[in-house]
Amino acid sequence: MILSIVGYGDPVLRKVGEDITEDYPNLDELIANMYDTMYSASGVGLAAPQVGLPIRLFVVDCAPFADIEDNTPEEKEFLSQYKRTFINAKIIKEEGEEWAFNEGCLSIPDVHELVMRKEQITIEYYDENFTKYTETIKGLAARVIQHEYDHIEGILFTDKLSSLKKKLIAKRLKNIMEGKVFTDYKMKFATKKGR
Ligand code: ZN
Protein backbone atom coordinates (compact mmCIF):
# COMPACT_ATOMS: atom_id res chain seq x y z
CA MET A 1 0.00 0.00 0.00
CA ILE A 2 1.29 3.43 -0.88
CA LEU A 3 1.44 5.81 2.09
CA SER A 4 1.34 9.61 2.12
CA ILE A 5 4.72 11.29 2.50
CA VAL A 6 4.91 13.93 5.20
CA GLY A 7 6.01 17.36 3.98
CA TYR A 8 8.60 19.75 5.40
CA GLY A 9 7.26 21.52 8.49
CA ASP A 10 5.53 18.54 10.06
CA PRO A 11 6.85 18.15 13.64
CA VAL A 12 7.28 14.38 13.16
CA LEU A 13 10.28 15.13 10.92
CA ARG A 14 11.99 16.80 13.90
CA LYS A 15 11.63 13.97 16.41
CA VAL A 16 14.50 11.69 17.33
CA GLY A 17 13.21 8.23 16.43
CA GLU A 18 12.62 5.57 19.09
CA ASP A 19 14.08 2.08 18.86
CA ILE A 20 11.53 -0.61 18.05
CA THR A 21 11.25 -4.28 19.02
CA GLU A 22 10.45 -7.32 16.91
CA ASP A 23 6.84 -7.23 18.05
CA TYR A 24 6.23 -3.70 16.72
CA PRO A 25 2.65 -3.88 15.31
CA ASN A 26 2.43 -4.98 11.64
CA LEU A 27 6.13 -4.40 11.08
CA ASP A 28 6.37 -6.58 7.94
CA GLU A 29 3.46 -4.75 6.39
CA LEU A 30 4.90 -1.35 7.33
CA ILE A 31 8.25 -2.20 5.71
CA ALA A 32 6.54 -3.47 2.55
CA ASN A 33 4.46 -0.28 2.43
CA MET A 34 7.56 1.86 2.84
CA TYR A 35 9.23 0.16 -0.13
CA ASP A 36 6.05 0.58 -2.22
CA THR A 37 5.88 4.25 -1.24
CA MET A 38 9.56 4.88 -1.98
CA TYR A 39 9.41 3.18 -5.40
CA SER A 40 6.19 4.94 -6.37
CA ALA A 41 7.89 8.29 -5.66
CA SER A 42 11.11 7.26 -7.48
CA GLY A 43 13.12 7.64 -4.26
CA VAL A 44 16.31 5.81 -3.24
CA GLY A 45 15.54 5.95 0.48
CA LEU A 46 12.61 6.52 2.84
CA ALA A 47 12.59 6.90 6.62
CA ALA A 48 9.67 6.10 8.95
CA PRO A 49 9.23 9.74 10.11
CA GLN A 50 8.46 10.56 6.46
CA VAL A 51 5.36 8.39 6.74
CA GLY A 52 4.48 9.89 10.12
CA LEU A 53 6.18 7.42 12.49
CA PRO A 54 8.93 8.65 14.85
CA ILE A 55 10.77 5.30 14.96
CA ARG A 56 14.27 4.15 13.98
CA LEU A 57 13.43 2.48 10.69
CA PHE A 58 14.42 3.33 7.12
CA VAL A 59 14.67 1.58 3.78
CA VAL A 60 17.20 2.10 1.00
CA ASP A 61 17.50 0.88 -2.59
CA CYS A 62 20.42 2.39 -4.50
CA ALA A 63 19.68 0.69 -7.84
CA PRO A 64 18.65 3.97 -9.56
CA PHE A 65 22.16 5.31 -8.76
CA ALA A 66 23.91 2.38 -10.48
CA ASP A 67 23.95 4.09 -13.86
CA ILE A 68 25.55 7.37 -12.83
CA GLU A 69 28.33 8.01 -15.36
CA ASP A 70 31.36 8.26 -13.06
CA ASN A 71 30.74 4.88 -11.42
CA THR A 72 33.32 2.15 -11.84
CA PRO A 73 31.95 -1.28 -12.91
CA GLU A 74 32.39 -2.43 -9.28
CA GLU A 75 30.42 0.54 -7.92
CA LYS A 76 27.74 -0.02 -10.53
CA GLU A 77 27.40 -3.68 -9.55
CA PHE A 78 27.36 -2.82 -5.82
CA LEU A 79 24.76 -0.05 -6.14
CA SER A 80 22.49 -2.10 -8.41
CA GLN A 81 22.13 -4.64 -5.60
CA TYR A 82 22.27 -2.38 -2.58
CA LYS A 83 18.82 -2.76 -1.04
CA ARG A 84 18.57 -2.79 2.76
CA THR A 85 16.13 -2.31 5.62
CA PHE A 86 17.70 -0.55 8.61
CA ILE A 87 16.15 -0.99 12.07
CA ASN A 88 17.53 0.65 15.24
CA ALA A 89 20.56 1.80 13.24
CA LYS A 90 23.50 3.49 14.92
CA ILE A 91 26.32 5.07 12.91
CA ILE A 92 29.44 4.26 14.91
CA LYS A 93 32.04 5.89 12.66
CA GLU A 94 32.18 8.44 9.83
CA GLU A 95 35.53 8.92 8.13
CA GLY A 96 37.32 10.13 5.03
CA GLU A 97 37.16 13.36 3.09
CA GLU A 98 33.96 15.37 2.90
CA TRP A 99 32.52 15.44 -0.61
CA ALA A 100 29.63 17.29 -2.20
CA PHE A 101 26.58 15.67 -3.76
CA ASN A 102 23.35 17.21 -4.98
CA GLU A 103 20.71 15.92 -2.55
CA GLY A 104 16.96 16.04 -2.60
CA CYS A 105 14.29 14.68 -0.27
CA LEU A 106 10.78 13.31 -0.90
CA SER A 107 9.56 15.47 2.03
CA ILE A 108 11.09 18.61 0.46
CA PRO A 109 10.01 18.46 -3.20
CA ASP A 110 11.74 20.62 -5.81
CA VAL A 111 14.65 21.54 -3.54
CA HIS A 112 18.04 20.16 -4.56
CA GLU A 113 21.28 21.42 -3.07
CA LEU A 114 24.88 20.33 -2.69
CA VAL A 115 25.50 18.76 0.71
CA MET A 116 28.92 17.89 2.18
CA ARG A 117 29.28 14.53 3.93
CA LYS A 118 32.15 12.23 4.84
CA GLU A 119 32.80 9.43 2.37
CA GLN A 120 32.67 6.34 4.57
CA ILE A 121 30.50 5.15 7.44
CA THR A 122 30.36 2.18 9.76
CA ILE A 123 26.84 1.38 10.88
CA GLU A 124 25.25 -1.17 13.19
CA TYR A 125 21.66 -2.13 12.48
CA TYR A 126 19.08 -4.90 12.44
CA ASP A 127 17.51 -6.05 9.20
CA GLU A 128 13.84 -6.91 8.67
CA ASN A 129 14.42 -10.33 10.34
CA PHE A 130 16.06 -8.66 13.34
CA THR A 131 19.45 -10.08 12.42
CA LYS A 132 22.20 -7.73 13.58
CA TYR A 133 24.86 -6.46 11.15
CA THR A 134 27.84 -4.12 11.26
CA GLU A 135 28.72 -2.76 7.82
CA THR A 136 31.29 -0.32 6.49
CA ILE A 137 30.04 1.44 3.35
CA LYS A 138 31.40 4.24 1.21
CA GLY A 139 30.36 6.38 -1.74
CA LEU A 140 26.77 6.85 -2.87
CA ALA A 141 25.32 4.06 -0.74
CA ALA A 142 26.90 5.67 2.35
CA ARG A 143 25.47 9.02 1.19
CA VAL A 144 21.93 7.62 0.97
CA ILE A 145 22.25 5.99 4.39
CA GLN A 146 23.61 9.22 5.95
CA HIS A 147 20.62 11.15 4.56
CA GLU A 148 18.09 8.58 5.85
CA TYR A 149 19.92 8.23 9.16
CA ASP A 150 19.59 11.98 9.66
CA HIS A 151 15.81 11.56 9.30
CA ILE A 152 15.67 9.21 12.30
CA GLU A 153 17.71 11.81 14.22
CA GLY A 154 15.24 14.59 13.33
CA ILE A 155 17.68 16.24 10.89
CA LEU A 156 16.95 17.34 7.29
CA PHE A 157 19.49 17.98 4.53
CA THR A 158 18.45 21.63 4.37
CA ASP A 159 19.78 22.04 7.95
CA LYS A 160 23.27 21.44 6.57
CA LEU A 161 23.22 24.34 4.08
CA SER A 162 24.96 27.69 4.52
CA SER A 163 22.89 30.53 5.96
CA LEU A 164 22.87 32.18 2.52
CA LYS A 165 21.49 29.03 0.86
CA LYS A 166 18.93 28.71 3.65
CA LYS A 167 17.74 32.26 2.92
CA LEU A 168 17.52 31.51 -0.79
CA ILE A 169 15.26 28.47 -0.26
CA ALA A 170 13.20 29.90 2.62
CA LYS A 171 10.26 30.83 0.39
CA ARG A 172 10.16 27.39 -1.21
CA LEU A 173 10.18 25.73 2.22
CA LYS A 174 7.33 28.00 3.32
CA ASN A 175 5.36 26.99 0.24
CA ILE A 176 5.86 23.32 1.06
CA MET A 177 4.68 23.93 4.64
CA GLU A 178 1.52 25.45 3.21
CA GLY A 179 1.05 22.59 0.78
CA LYS A 180 1.68 24.85 -2.21
CA VAL A 181 3.72 22.34 -4.14
CA PHE A 182 2.94 19.81 -6.83
CA THR A 183 4.21 16.25 -6.68
CA ASP A 184 3.29 13.12 -8.61
CA TYR A 185 3.13 11.23 -5.30
CA LYS A 186 0.75 11.54 -2.35
CA MET A 187 1.81 13.97 0.38
CA LYS A 188 0.38 15.37 3.60
CA PHE A 189 1.27 18.77 4.93
CA ALA A 190 1.64 20.24 8.42
CA THR A 191 -0.69 23.16 7.87
CA LYS A 192 -3.17 21.56 5.52
CA LYS A 193 -5.97 19.22 6.56
CA GLY A 194 -6.96 16.06 4.76
CA ARG A 195 -4.89 13.29 6.32
ZN1 ZN B 1 14.90 12.77 2.93
pLDDT digit string, tens, across residues 9-49: 999 999 999 999 999 999 999 999 999 999 999 999 999 99
Question: For residue 43, how far is its CA from the centre of ligand 1 (angstroms)?
Answer: 9
Percentage of the chain exceeding pLDDT 70: 98
In this prediction, residues 113-139 reach a mean pLDDT of: 97
Question: For residue 146, how far is its CA from the centre of ligand 1 (angstroms)?
Answer: 10
* 28-37, 41-50, 70-79, 124-133, range with the lowest pLDDT: 70-79
Question: For residue 47, how far is its CA from the centre of ligand 1 (angstroms)?
Answer: 7
* 7-11, 55-59, 65-69, 130-134, range with the lowest pLDDT: 65-69
The torsion angles phi and psi of 31, rounded to 5 degrees, stand at -65, -45
Beta pairing partners, 102: 114
> Of 75, 103, 113, 148, which is the active-site residue?
148
Numbers of helices and strands, H then E, in the chain: 4, 7
Q: What is the pLDDT of residue 70?
A: 86
Q: What is the pLDDT of residue 35?
A: 98
Cα(32)–Cα(16) distance, integer angstroms: 23
Answer yes or no: 178 catalytic.
Answer: no
Question: For residue 193, how far is its CA from the centre of ligand 1 (angstroms)?
Answer: 22
Beta pairing partners, 29: none
Question: For residue 13, how far is its CA from the centre of ligand 1 (angstroms)?
Answer: 10
Q: What is the pLDDT of residue 191?
A: 77
Q: What is the pLDDT of residue 69?
A: 83
pLDDT range class, residue 190, cuts 50, 70, 90: confident
In this prediction, residues 168-195 reach a mean pLDDT of: 88
Q: What is the pLDDT of residue 194?
A: 47
**Does 193 score more than 60 pLDDT?**
no
Given a contact cutoff of 8 angstroms between Cβ atoms, the answer to whether 148 and 156 are in contact is no
Greater model confidence, 143 or 71: 143
**Does 122 score more than 50 pLDDT?**
yes
In this prediction, residues 104-124 reach a mean pLDDT of: 97
Cα(100)–Cα(65) distance, integer angstroms: 16
Question: For residue 109, how far is its CA from the centre of ligand 1 (angstroms)?
Answer: 10
Question: For residue 8, how far is its CA from the centre of ligand 1 (angstroms)?
Answer: 10
Surrounding ion ligand 1 within 5 Å at CB are 105
**Does 195 score more than 60 pLDDT?**
no
